[in-house]
């Protein structure tokens, strides 16, 4: 007997086909002489209706066991459905129950549950419609990302999770060894004099794979990373996780304009792919989560993003007739309320802000001729705020050394990174996309904890 996934049956199954399905009961409806069982196997939002006639072997005993959450296997024949809502249904010839789910204790019942409640049962929530849709869309986003870069000849490189460098210089590192750099002796050359043992020096969970991606870009021209990153920031917001996934392309022979062009084409591609491959899930989000989801996707795909400099953004914010909680002035970083005002209220589409003050940005960003700004860019999305952060990198050895020192870091600790500027340096640029923020943006989900299967936040790491 051919085993089939439910998504495929609903899409292309034909009457008289004999097949076998395996899945979990969503609902059961008992009628006189027969019953309907809605079976879901995670392949689609919609479930397949199974019709069980009372003349099936063990009909009564099986029916008693087939409550919401129970697992089963059905062998049968597809028949046109009489009811509305589905084209086809499965007439059961044999039903095997694998595992029961006691309705007295199983927490997922037919009613709608709040996301807060579902977060307390993280091991079961993926079985609901909402989380099914979120994780299928998450998978489609990841596929689209690989497709986009692979089609353009980018090499997927794997950068380390345990690292000795603080890429962002923001001090938001999870320390793996419990050692601190300032406590480790230095040699005459100002190198860290660590014990020969690997764990004799401070090491951290990576905040970004960028510096290592730069290493690889200097050999392969265009590369990207896609993996988990960690930030020990105590931000209890709906946009921050302690463990999140980041996509970081890095391109040799590329400037900031090329970087912005790539980022825009990239987001357009991912939205297009998801709309094409997950239409039911996207329709579900539009109906149930946020009724602007489809319009936003259409807007992203068909309209150019707004581009402006930080200096222009500040002057627009100063003129805004909105009372912001945080001050706006040249030299201060944009807060999420400012970012959202620009993207959500003023331009109503993604906004690329470039050329930020050097003082508020990381050491590796290329200093402009004005010596006040760096060639950085952030992409701000309506409802989310910053979704992408990127920059053209400082490729000049002397300028980079000065920037490292100015930020209180030791050039000797980044000797390998400086080597990239000593040997065959080129203008290069890249960016980092917060993968969960993209999934939030795509689905309209309000809380970042609900777009990753196992969220790590200051309060939650149950398993
Ligand atoms: O702006 P960030 O800090 O940039 C970097 O790490 C660069 N090294 C990237 C690069 O140029 N290769 O982070 C990039 C993105 C942010 O725009 C945001 O979307 C996401 O990562 N992000 C977070 N997402 C969830 N939780 C957090 N705590 C995040 N911190 C950053
Ligand atoms: Mg940033």
Site to probe by mutation for ligand 1, drawn from 229, 244, 392 as the one with most ligand atoms within 8 Å of Cβ, is 244
Report pLDDT digits (tens) over 181-212.
888 888 888 888 877 666 778 889 999 999 99
For residue 250, the ligand 1 atom closest to its alpha carbon is 12
Per DSSP, what are the bridge partners of residue 393?
A: 365
Q: Where are the alpha helices (DSSP H) in 332-456?
A: 336-340, 397-406, 415-422, 435-443
Categorize the per-residue pLDDT at 457 as very low, low, confident or very high, splitting at 50, 70 and 90.
Answer: confident
Two tokens, residue 384: 């989310």
Q: From ligand 1's centre to the CA of 310, what distance in Å?
A: 18
Q: Where are the alpha helices (DSSP H) in 279-343?
A: 279-288, 293-302, 310-319, 336-340
Residue nearest to ligand 1 atom 4, measured at CA: 389
Distance (Å, whole) CA 167 – CA 211: 7
Report pLDDT digits (tens) over 245-302.
999 999 999 999 999 999 999 999 999 999 999 999 999 999 999 999 999 999 999 9
377 with 292, same domain: the answer is yes
pLDDT for res 8: 97
Distance (Å, whole) CA 261 – CA 151: 16
Q: From ligand 2's centre to the CA of 433, what distance in Å?
A: 9
130 with 87, same domain: the answer is no
Report pLDDT digits (tens) over 299-343.
999 999 999 999 999 999 999 999 999 999 999 999 999 999 999
Report pLDDT digits (tens) over 15-29.
999 999 999 999 999
95 with 143, same domain: the answer is no
Q: From ligand 1's centre to the CA of 240, what distance in Å?
A: 10
pLDDT for res 171: 73
Domain membership of residue 120 (yes or no) is no
Tell me how many domains the chain contains.
2
Site to probe by mutation for ligand 1, drawn from 232, 360, 434 as the one with most ligand atoms within 8 Å of Cβ, is 434
Domain membership of residue 378 (yes or no) is yes
pLDDT for res 461: 58
Domain CATH code at residue 223: 3.30.930.10
Domain membership of residue 111 (yes or no) is no
347 with 432, same domain: the answer is yes
Measured in whole angstroms, how far is the alpha carbon of residue 356 from the centre of its chain?
Answer: 25
Report residue 364: phi and psi, to 5°: -85, 0
Report pLDDT digits (tens) over 352-408.
999 999 999 999 999 999 999 999 999 999 999 999 999 999 999 999 999 999 999
65 with 189, same domain: the answer is no
CB of 132 shorter than 6 A to ligand 1: no
Ligand nearest to the CA of 387: 1
pLDDT for res 423: 98
pLDDT at 462 over 70: no
Cβ atoms of 404 and 410 within 8 Å: the answer is yes
Domain membership of residue 112 (yes or no) is no
CB of 388 shorter than 6 A to ligand 1: yes
CB of 385 shorter than 6 A to ligand 1: no
Domain membership of residue 251 (yes or no) is yes
Q: From ligand 2's centre to the CA of 208, what distance in Å?
A: 11
Distance (Å, whole) CA 36 – CA 20: 17
pLDDT for res 460: 67
Distance (Å, whole) CA 446 – CA 443: 9
pLDDT for res 463: 59
Two tokens, residue 335: 């807060």
Q: Where are the alpha helices (DSSP H) in 365-459?
A: 397-406, 415-422, 435-443
The CA–CA distances, whole Å, from 422 to 11, 398, 400, 425 equal 57, 10, 11, 7
Ligand nearest to the CA of 240: 1
91 with 131, same domain: the answer is no
The boundaries of the domain holding residue 13 are 6-99
145 with 187, same domain: the answer is yes
Domain membership of residue 340 (yes or no) is yes
Domain membership of residue 171 (yes or no) is yes
Ligand nearest to the CA of 170: 1
251 with 295, same domain: the answer is yes
32 with 67, same domain: the answer is yes
CB of 208 shorter than 6 A to ligand 1: yes
Categorize the per-residue pLDDT at 91 as very low, low, confident or very high, splitting at 50, 70 and 90.
Answer: very high
Site to probe by mutation for ligand 1, drawn from 216, 239, 389 as the one with most ligand atoms within 8 Å of Cβ, is 389
Q: From ligand 2's centre to the CA of 390, what distance in Å?
A: 7
313 with 251, same domain: the answer is yes
CB of 435 shorter than 6 A to ligand 1: no
Q: From ligand 1's centre to the CA of 60, what distance in Å?
A: 56
34 with 139, same domain: the answer is no
CB of 436 shorter than 6 A to ligand 1: yes
C-alpha dihedral, 276 to 280 to 282 to 285, nearest 10°:
180
Report residue 187: phi and psi, to 5°: -85, 180
First-last CA distance in the chain? 38
Neighbours of 185 (CB within 10 A): 7
Average pLDDT, the chain: 95
Cβ atoms of 380 and 344 within 8 Å: the answer is no
Report pLDDT digits (tens) over 99-152.
999 999 999 987 789 999 999 999 999 999 999 999 999 999 999 999 999 999
Categorize the per-residue pLDDT at 213 as very low, low, confident or very high, splitting at 50, 70 and 90.
Answer: very high
Domain membership of residue 109 (yes or no) is no
Whole-prediction pTM: 0.95
CB of 210 shorter than 6 A to ligand 1: yes
pLDDT at 416 over 90: yes
pLDDT for res 273: 98
136 with 198, same domain: the answer is yes
Cβ atoms of 202 and 180 within 8 Å: the answer is yes
Domain CATH code at residue 68: 2.40.50.140
């Amino acid at each position: 007997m051919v085993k089939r996934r439910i998504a495929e049956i609903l899409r292309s199954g034909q009457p008289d086909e004999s097949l076998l399905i395996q899945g979990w009961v969503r609902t059961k409806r008992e009628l006189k002489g027969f019953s309907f069982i809605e079976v879901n196997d995670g392949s689609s939002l919609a479930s397949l209706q199974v019709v069980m006639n009372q003349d099936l072997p063990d009909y009564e005993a099986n029916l008693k066991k087939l409550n919401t959450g129970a697992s089963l296997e059905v062998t049968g024949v597809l028949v046109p459905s009489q009811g509305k809502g589905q084209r086809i249904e499965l007439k059961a010839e044999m039903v095997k129950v694998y595992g029961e789910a006691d309705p007295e204790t199983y927490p997922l019942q037919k009613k709608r549950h709040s996301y807060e409640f579902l977060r307390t049962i993280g091991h079961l929530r993926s079985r609901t419609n909402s989380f099914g849709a979120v994780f299928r869309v998450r998978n489609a986003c990841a596929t689209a990302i690989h497709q986009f870069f692979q089609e353009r000849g980018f090499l997927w490189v794997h950068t380390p999770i345990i690292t000795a460098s603080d890429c962002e210089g923001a001090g938001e590192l999870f320390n793996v060894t419990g050692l601190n750099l300032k406590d480790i002796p230095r040699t005459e050359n100002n190198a860290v004099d660590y014990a020969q043992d690997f764990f004799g020096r401070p090491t951290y969970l990576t905040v970004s794979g960028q510096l290592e991606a730069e290493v690889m870009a200097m050999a392969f021209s265009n590369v990207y990373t896609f993996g988990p990153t960690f930030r020990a920031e105590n931000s209890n917001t709906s946009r921050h996780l302690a463990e999140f996934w980041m996509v970081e392309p890095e391109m040799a022979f590329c400037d900031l304009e090329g970087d912005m062009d790539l980022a825009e084409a990239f987001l357009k591609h991912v939205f297009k792919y998801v709309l094409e491959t997950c239409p039911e899930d996207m329709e579900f989000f539009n109906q149930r989560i946020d009724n602007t989801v489809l319009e936003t996707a259409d807007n992203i795909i068909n309209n150019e993003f707004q581009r402006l400099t930080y200096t222009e953004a500040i002057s627009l914010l100063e003129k805004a007739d909105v009372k912001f909680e945080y001050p706006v002035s040249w030299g201060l970083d944009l807060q999420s309320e400012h970012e959202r005002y620009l993207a959500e209220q003023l331009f109503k589409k993604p906004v690329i802000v470039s050329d930020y003050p050097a003082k508020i940005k990381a050491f590796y960003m290329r200093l402009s001729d004005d010596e006040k700004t760096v060639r950085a860019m952030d992409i701000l999305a309506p409802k989310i705020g910053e979704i992408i952060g990127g920059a053209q990198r400082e490729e000049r050895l002397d300028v980079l050394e000065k920037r490292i020192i100015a930020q209180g870091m030791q050039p000797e600790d980044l000797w390998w990174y400086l080597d990239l500027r000593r040997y065959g340096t080129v203008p290069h640029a890249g960016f980092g996309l917060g993968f969960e923020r993209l999934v939030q943006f795509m689905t309209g989900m309000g809380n970042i904890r609900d777009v990753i299967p196992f969220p790590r936040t200051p309060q939650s790491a149950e398993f």
